[in-house]
Amino acid sequence: MAEIHWQRKDLLGIAELSREEIELILDTAESFSEVAERPIKKVPTLRGKTVINLFFEPSTRTRSSFEIAEKRLSSDSLNFSASASALTKGESLIDTAMNLQAMSPDLVVIRHAYPGSPHMLARRLEAGVINAGDGAHEHPTQALLDAFTIRRHKGGLSGLKVAIIGDIEHSRVVRSNIHLLTKMGSEVTVAGPRTMMPVGLDKLGANVVFSLEEALDGADVVMMLRVQLERQARTLLPSVREYFHLFGLTRERLKAAKEDAIVMHPGPMNRGTEITSDVADGSRSVILEQVANGVAVRMAVLYLLSGVHEETA
């Protein structure tokens, strides 16, 4: 286990985390992962703590795994429904959050389309705030569960060649992953159409290429990203068929990566657009392992931010 004490109230992004903090979260997740193997999948670690889940955007994996992580840790959870709240009567996000704060939660998990919304809440709330995805900015717990999954398969992160391919422009997953993987010593190459490639990723430490084959060449890890058609204000693709022709991952194309390369995808997948079903469901795919590992990683984050490790120290 990494030899540091967790000091932060919030988890807002990977950008501000140190290498040691990332290792502490991953090591803590490793110790929580065995709870899923127990006949009774519950520990009393967060008994008496209250967690509010505020999801303003749709989610299957992140929302479910935070809820399951909270239940496995015995905390009391409130799943706030934006569509059934006073937000529909014009109440602002910050007023909503201040009213929820008045009920003394210990932690607030937030997903919102507006980049920086978790940071805004963190400045105003006494409760710890966890970013579950803010616009195209960051998705820190996704990058942490990706790192956890890679580490389990490859034994570490340093020296690995990681290819991240797809709609880079709209992806919060790619930003968090570049921050995390480069800090941990991986070599990250991002690839996608020029219309879906933001400027400045090279400054974050990633190699930027515009060809799938170039990105796959010798890769240890292949991470495919969803084409986020719902976030495109203008058409960035001539057609889905052309996208697949240039950037879709097939079994044949995967041969360019290392023989033991793993295939990842944060979900939800567009089968037949960014990845074929035989690759997504094939022996190299760790996509459902990513989902399973998300619970242990989120248990670790909830535990560290709750402060119980300080209370019991």
**By C-beta, is 45 or 72 nearer to ligand CP?**
72
CB of 291 to ligand CP, least distance (A): 8
**By C-beta, is 296 or 308 nearer to ligand CP?**
296
Conformation bin of residue 115: beta by default, left when phi > 0, alpha when psi is -120 to 50:
beta
**Using CA atoms, how far apart are residues 82 and 299, in angstroms rounded to an integer?**
24
CB of 120 to ligand CP, least distance (A): 21
Give the strand order in the sheet containing 76-81: 76-81, 50-55, 107-112, 128-134
**By C-beta, is 9 or 61 nearer to ligand CP?**
61
CB of 117 to ligand CP, least distance (A): 16
CB of 207 to ligand CP, least distance (A): 24
**By C-beta, is 230 or 252 nearer to ligand CP?**
230
* Residues at the site binding ligand CP, with contacts judged by CB under 6 A: 59-63, 133, 142, 266-268
> 112 - beta bridge partners?
134
**Gyration radius of the chain's alpha carbons:** 19
Judging by DSSP bridges, how do beta strands 187-191 and 107-112 pair with one another? unpaired
CB of 283 to ligand CP, least distance (A): 22
**By C-beta, is 139 or 183 nearer to ligand CP?**
139
CB 136 within 8 A of CB 168: no
> Cα dist. 80→57, 122, 280 in Å?
12, 17, 33
The two three-digit tokens of residue 205, written as one number: 């430490």
Judging by DSSP bridges, how do beta strands 50-55 and 187-191 pair with one another? unpaired
CB 163 within 8 A of CB 191: yes
CB of 37 to ligand CP, least distance (A): 23
**By C-beta, is 184 or 264 nearer to ligand CP?**
264
CB 160 within 8 A of CB 154: yes
**By C-beta, is 33 or 176 nearer to ligand CP?**
176
Instruction: Indicate if the alpha-carbon torsion angle 260, 163, 218, 194 is positive or negative.
Output: positive
Can you list the alpha helix ranges (DSSP code H) found in 102-209?
A: 117-124, 140-154, 172-183
CB of 214 to ligand CP, least distance (A): 26
CB of 81 to ligand CP, least distance (A): 16
3-state secondary structure of 207: strand
**By C-beta, is 109 or 308 nearer to ligand CP?**
109
